[in-house]
Amino acid sequence: MTSPSVSKPPTSTFSIRTAEGGQDCKAVVTQLATTNSAIQRAGFTSISAAMRECVSDDE
């Protein structure tokens, strides 16, 4: 069984190219803030799901 390939998200590629190209720094900051927010939400969702599972296992 083979696992599907994982591609990098377009936002990080955009941010790196934009920063290296010397383009608008506001666009880079916006993209990085958006990416950071998405990662934080995903982490919170994972942790809260694990906590719910842990609590429901105890009952």
Residues 21-59 have pLDDT tens digits of: 776 788 888 888 999 999 999 999 999 999 998 888 766
Q: Which amino acid is at 30?
A: T
Task: Give long-range contacts, CB 8 A cutoff, 24+ apart: 34-41.
Answer: 35/9, 35/11
pLDDT tens per residue, range 7-29:
555 555 666 676 677 767 888 88
Residue corresponding to tokens 């995903």? 42
Q: How far apart are CA 30 and CA 36, in angstroms?
A: 10
pTM metric for this prediction: 0.50
CB 15 within 8 Å of CB 31: yes
CB 28 within 8 Å of CB 17: no
